[in-house]
Amino acid sequence: MGEALRRWRDRVPPAAVGLPEGRARRTPGLRREELALLAGISAEYVIRLEQGRATSPSAQVLRALARALRLSEAERSHLFLLAGQPEPASGQLWGRLTPGVRRLLDQMAGTPVGVYDAAWTLIAWNRLYVAVTGDPSARAARHRNLVWRHFVGPPGRVAHTAQQRTRFETAIVSDLRAARARYPAEAALHSLVADLRDTSPRFATLWDTQEVSGHGLHTKTIHHPDAGPLHLDCDILTEPGGNLRIVILTAAPGSAAVGKLELLNAIGTQQIPEPRHETHRVTES
């Protein structure tokens, strides 16, 4: 298993997962520390796995590694086999990237694209999505969950009006309710819902209403710390299996956001050499 992890790690270009390539890089792919960040585990544990000193990784760890390494279905099955673990049974949430979604991330370099599983946990993204929304690679899995970050986490870069916030909250709680019904054997999903109910009165109220809602095309205002406000259209697509939600952010032709996206795409996550303009706003998620 250690040899397989090393080979799979070496073939993932850092830029493909929104990480800077850097100049002093001895490996063509991900460093152990980078894989650990993407998978939400410790770098020491990655080292132990690759050296054969950790021989019983959990199914949750294996799933996280498979996502971070962008494994194919056959490779994922092989990883579980090497670890002596059965693959997730029916009724468990499995956010795997299809080849088509991988190509979408790779080929839409000029458009911010993020991929979420059915419970709204961010599992893949391209470089421009990182530049626009912030770097998710250092966040633990719970803090990559959009529902958790919105109701419990600190304010982020997205600002909502009261009407937008109500519509957004109703839709994501409805999505989470549907995911829990679809994946009854997913313990992490049950834990997420229980913790949200205990921590956020607003979530608990929405959960108990049993209201069902869907997502429509809407405009997000993202307050970038250096580029300033970006008014972007947000489309949410689902892949045929219904396990993935693909968030695509685009700027209206001729808008100021077009130039800002081009600039962010050119410089990535580097700081923009322009003065910041403070704005007073209410931020959500």
Q: Which residues on neighbouring strands pair with residue 121, listed in sequence order?
A: 145
pLDDT, tens digit, 9 for 90 and up, residues 186-244: 888 889 999 999 999 999 999 988 777 777 677 889 998 888 899 999 999 887 666 78
Residues 56, 159 within the same domain:
no
What does the pLDDT average to over 135-163? 86
**Is residue 178, in this structure, part of any structural domain at all?**
yes
Q: Are residues 228 and 121 in the same domain?
A: yes
Helix extents (H) in 42-116: 43-50, 59-68, 73-83, 99-107
The reply to whether 161 and 252 lie within a common domain is yes
Looking at the structure, do residues 8 and 116 belong to the same domain, yes or no? no
240 within some domain: yes
51 with 188, same domain? no
Return d(Cα 113, Cα 274) in angstroms, integer.
25
CATH number at residue 253: 3.30.450.180
Residue 79 lies in a domain: yes
pLDDT of residue 244: 87
Question: Of 58, 83, 108, which one is at a domain's C-terminal end?
Answer: 83
CATH number of the structural domain spanning residue 27: 1.10.260.40
**Assigned domain for 285 exists:** no
What is the pLDDT confidence band of residue 23, given thresholds at 50, 70 and 90?
Answer: low
The residue segments making up the domain with residue 160 are 99-267
User: In angstroms, rounded to a whole number, what is the distance separating the alpha carbons of residues 195 and 191?
Assistant: 6
Verify that 45 and 149 share a domain, yes or no.
no
Per the structure, how many domains does the chain have? Answer: 2
**Same-domain check for residues 64 and 131:** no
- For residues 75-88, give the mean pLDDT: 82
Assigned domain for 259 exists: yes
| Residues facing residue 125 across a β-bridge | 114
Shared-domain flag, residues 67 and 139: no
Residue of 164, 160, 135, 129 whose CA lies nearest to 248: 129
What interhelical angle do 43-50 and 2-10 show, nearest 10? 120
- Answer whether residue 280 is part of any domain: no
Residues 126 and 217 in one domain: yes
What average pLDDT score do residues 54-70 get? 86
Q: Per the domain annotation, does 150 fall within a domain? A: yes
